[in-house]
Amino acid sequence: MALIVQKFGGTSVGTVERIQQVAEKVKKFRENGDDIVVVVSAMSGETNRLIDLAKQITDNQPVARELDVMISTGEQVTIALLAMALIKRGVEAVSYTGNQVRILTDNAHTKARILQIDDTRIRADLAAGKVVVVAGFQGVDEQGNITTLGRGGSDTTGVALAAALKADECQIYTDVDGVYTTDPRVVPRAQRLEKITFEEMLEMASLGSKVLQIRSVEFAGKYNVPLRVLHSFQEGPGTLITLDEEESMEQPIISGIAFNRDEAKLTIRGVPDVPGIAFKILGPVSGANIEVDMIVQNVAHDNTTDFTFTVHRNDYQNALQVLEKTASELGAREVIGDTNIAKVSIVGVGMRSHAGVASRMFEALAKETINIQMISTSEIKVSVVIEEKYLELAVRALHTAFELDAPAKRTE
């Protein structure tokens, strides 16, 4: 008998019919003798509907505490409906909000972090043979205020509960049947991975793969919670995310190719090449709560430097204003920006033991006459910035170059 935490996202519980289907799936696991804790999101579109209501009341940003009180109700509806559906099927079930379980968080409303989970009630219910249904995405701070964990927070709730309960597996049900070598919509011959390491999944998530929320992968890796990504309504083994790095002759050098269109590039030209200049440029950007990704610094022959960095495209205008002010203070020559860029990354723990991976990547892009504007590397990834219009071509070329394409289907 195993203890399994299952998490179902908004599309999986988007209608009453789908909640009924989820109840059937949970019932099968329970009939196999497994102890089951289910974490659910709000029904698809519900959180956005609630946020829109708040915007109709206030022209400004809604007070974060009150926003949390309101948007946390979406999950409350889902847990009650799923518990009802299970009970109707003869499965004993009980639903809990984050507050009732006592998922303790800090007080950073709308983006709170989980500090501690009281698993007493859940363990008692499991011992009594019940399926426990818990609201994802939410918790409570030490003052008793309702908090939410930010977009995708239900994944984090699921993993955190699995860690607290020392579950055998945390299953993330979604609208894909696993983690693929890249987006199948871009590369039709992309393959589902049987297994991937936490480290690789973390890189894939941070570099643009939308299958799992980054924080949930971090949490799972920290507490060694085996994660499995599965399709909500199709049978299959999914993809297991684990600590294991199996050494094998069949182990591919590259596990996947991630990409992100939401990038923008900024360059400040002709600043003095003196100690501390990087901080003078990036300090104000950080102070404006703008996250910087890739950085390149080039030194010219006249003791000046050109400093280039990338930010999320949504932060571009704010970053541009900050940088123009900095340029004026430093006496820089000019500030230029570009929002027509994208980032493409190859990821794989196999890179640790194989030389020449980066040059193979650059060769594949060169064959397609794709110019590389910036390069960033780590132990298990290489990222490049290119013109956005070449993104899909680059992904397909790299997928083929690193032999990730599924075999072509034979036609009789």
Instruction: Work out whether the CA dihedral 195, 220, 68, 6 comes out positive or negative.
Output: positive
Query: What whole-number distance in Å separates Cα of residue 165 and Cα of residue 123?
Result: 8
Task: Check: CB of residue 365 under 8 Å from CB of residue 386.
Answer: yes
- Tokens at residue 54, please? 């708040």
Residue labelled with tokens 């991630």: 258
Question: What count of other Cβ atoms lies within 10 Å of the Cβ of residue 37?
Answer: 28
141 belongs to an annotated ligand binding site? no
DSSP state, 192? B
8 belongs to an annotated ligand binding site? yes
Which distant-in-sequence residues (6+ apart) come within 8 Å of 372 by Cβ?
A: 362, 365, 384, 385, 386
333 belongs to an annotated ligand binding site? no
174 belongs to an annotated ligand binding site? yes
Query: What whole-number distance in Å separates Cα of residue 224 and Cα of residue 261?
Result: 31
192 belongs to an annotated ligand binding site? no
- Tokens at residue 339, please? 């929002």
DSSP 3-state assignment of 84? helix
Instruction: Label the pairing between strands 227-231 and 239-242.
Output: antiparallel
379 belongs to an annotated ligand binding site? no
310 belongs to an annotated ligand binding site? no
Q: Which of 7, 3, 5 is nearest to 174 (CA)?
A: 7
75 belongs to an annotated ligand binding site? yes
Cα distances (Å, whole numbers) of residue 151 to 124, 172, 214, 386: 30, 15, 11, 28
211 belongs to an annotated ligand binding site? yes
217 belongs to an annotated ligand binding site? no
34 belongs to an annotated ligand binding site? no
Write out the H or E segment, with its range, that includes residue 174: strand 169-174
Write out the H or E segment, with its range, that includes residue 5: strand 3-8
173 belongs to an annotated ligand binding site? no
Please give the annotated binding residues, written as ranges.
7-10, 47, 75, 174-175, 180, 185, 210-211
Please give the annotated binding residues for substrate, written as ranges.
47, 75
Please give the annotated binding residues for ATP, written as ranges.
7-10, 174-175, 180, 185, 210-211
